[in-house]
Amino acid sequence: MSVVTYIGLGSNLGDSRKTLTEAVAKLAALGRVKTSKLYQSPPMGPQDQPHYLNAVARLETDLAALDLLDELQKIEQEAGRVRLRHWGERTLDLDILLYGQEQIEHQRLTVPHIGLLERDFVIMPLLDLDKNIQIQAQCLKDLALAQDSTLLVVADEFWSAVD
C-alpha cells in the first residue's frame, strides 16, 4: 500500500542546485516523485551563512516511515553531507515533513516535522504541490506566513528534470 509523503529538501553548501537535483533523482527510485518550485530563502538560524535553496518533493512510496528515513539518510551521506554547526550550513538536508495522515513520535522521527508551521521555505513549496493541503485541520494557505511570504522563486517545478 503506497503512502503519500512530503520530503523537505534544503542546501546551502557547495553546488546546492546540483545537489538537490541529484537528490530528487534518487528519490525517484523510492516511488513516484513530483517536485515543487525551487526557492531561495534567507537562513533561519545564524545569519552569517549563505542563503538556502529549498524545495519539497511529493513522494508516493511503499516504504515504511523508518525505512524511508534510512533511505533519506543514505542519500544525505552520498551527497557528502557536511554540517558545520547546529542550525548552521549544510550540504543536504532531507526531512520527512508528512507521512500520509500519520502522527509519528519516535526517537528518530517526529511527523509532522517540528517547526513546519513556522517555516515559509517549507510551507510555500508544500502549497505548490497541493494548494489545499491541511495539517492537523489547519489549511496552510490561510497561515499569515503563507500570505506574507517574500521567498524568491528561482525555478519552476521542472527544475529537477534531467535530460
Q: Which is nearer to ligand ROI, 3 or 36 (CB)?
A: 36
**Annotated catalytic residue: which of 95, 119, 120, 128?**
95
Q: Which is nearer to ligand ROI, 87 or 161 (CB)?
A: 87
Provide the H-helix boundaries in 12-162: 16-27, 65-78, 120-129, 144-148
**Number of Cβ atoms within 10 Å of the Cβ of 10:** 25
Question: Closest distance between ligand ROI and the C-beta of residue 94, in Å?
Answer: 10
Whether residue 95 lies in the annotated active site: yes
Q: Which is nearer to ligand ROI, 3 or 111 (CB)?
A: 111
Handedness of CA 30, 32, 38, 44 (dihedral sign): negative
Q: Is 151 exposed, middle or buried (0-12, 13-18, 19+ CB in 10 A)?
A: middle
**Annotated catalytic residue: which of 58, 62, 70, 81?**
81
- Grid coordinates of 6: 512530503
> Which residues in this chain contact ligand ROI in the complex, by CB under 6 A?
10, 41-45, 52, 54, 87, 93, 121
Whether residue 83 lies in the annotated active site: no
**Annotated catalytic residue: which of 58, 90, 120, 128?**
90
Whether residue 85 lies in the annotated active site: no
Whether residue 17 lies in the annotated active site: no
Q: How far apart are CA 61 and CA 99, in angstroms?
A: 10
- Grid coordinates of 118: 513556522
Question: Closest distance between ligand ROI and the C-beta of residue 1, in Å?
Answer: 30
Question: Closest distance between ligand ROI and the C-beta of residue 64, in Å?
Answer: 24
Handedness of CA 32, 55, 8, 90 (dihedral sign): positive
Residues with catalytic annotation?
A: 81, 90, 93, 95
